[in-house]
Amino acid sequence: MYLFIVNRNSGNGGGYRVWKKIQELLHHRSIPYDYIFTQSAEEAHSYLIDRLANKSGWSAVGVVGGDGTIHSLLPAMRDSGVPLAVFPAGSGNDTARGFRIPRKTAAALDIMLEGMPRSTDLISISGGSTLTALAVGFDAEVAHNVNRSRYKKICNWFGMGRLAYVIGVFHTLLTFRPAPLTVECDGQEYTYTSGWLAAVNNVTTYGGGLSICPEAKPDDGLLDICIVHDCSRFKLMLLFPTLLFGKHTRFSFVSMLRGRNVTVRSSLPRLALGDGEPVSSTPLTASADPGALRVMCPHTLAV
């Protein structure tokens, strides 16, 4: 028996369109399932908690939506033993990208039904967990501005969710001010006089496919951290195209760290987003939570 959590409003209605395709395929294959349409993170979380507690034997929980929908379900899914199956229908879809889940609905369903459940880490912070990444500083402000913008809806309508984040970069450059930043990683402290952002990642990408931590692995028990610091606005603007290919690490104003525990402090309060959702602000501490979640993945995925 398979359970589906469907955010039909994700991706400007893309979640509903994806779900109708899934339903058609399930009926054609005579596969038993249950589902719920969700209007909010709280509703989805409460429903899933109840279902996992009162009925055993779920083969997997399929989430039809974006990274934010998945994020809302992590407290219920964590340590449940029930695998998560991802059906990308949001703007960024970095969870799907991180686990190589295809955009085509039929192929994603095949992974849910025939793929391999793999243990993956979570990023643990005070009061919750994050699956893909924590964005702190400029990148968090970009995502925050994108989520509140009209251009996000327009980009989603044309299936160009990544473009919304590119627009958001230029939007945020107009107002954001860098500030002194301190990052402590496994007891080692690093100080930067002019910090733009600190990205704490479990997978390689965030922000709709920006390869911010190209060496990150979701099952190694470690966090990958990218700090951008001590550069001008012009250099920061030149940096972002290189993020599409993970080539930014060669710049002198980019520092890469890896560890089990990380603390980020800033002289100015900085917003922190987890999986694109507001989760905290500086100062904040995050740690790797090894093997806390199971995700249905392609058999060919090496993690």
Give me the pLDDT at residue 272, please.
94
Q: Give pLDDT, residue 149.
A: 79
Q: Considering the domain delimited by 133-291, tell me its CATH architecture.
A: Sandwich (2.60)
pLDDT score of 32 more than 80: yes
> How confident is the model over 179-206, as a mean pLDDT?
96
| Higher-confidence position of 182 and 93 | 182
Q: Does the structure show a pLDDT above 60 at 58?
A: yes
Most confident among 7-16, 68-77, 125-134, 248-257 (mean pLDDT): 248-257
pLDDT tops 80 at residue 254: yes
Give, in degrees to the nearest 5, the angle at Cα 273 between 19 and 149.
Answer: 65
Each residue's pLDDT tens digit, 106-154: 999 999 999 999 999 999 998 789 999 999 999 899 888 887 777 777 7
Domains of the chain, by residue range, sit at 2-121+293-297, 133-291
pTM for this model (two decimals): 0.89
CATH code reported for the domain at 2-121+293-297: 3.40.50.10330
pLDDT band at residue 56 under the 50/70/90 scheme:
low
pLDDT at position 179 over 90: yes
Q: Supply 184's token pair.
A: 């402590």
Q: How high is the mean pLDDT of the chain?
A: 90
| Average pLDDT of the segment spanning 79-103 | 91
Q: Which of 39-48, 90-99, 179-188, 199-208 has the lowest mean pLDDT?
A: 39-48
Position 43 pLDDT exceeds 80: no
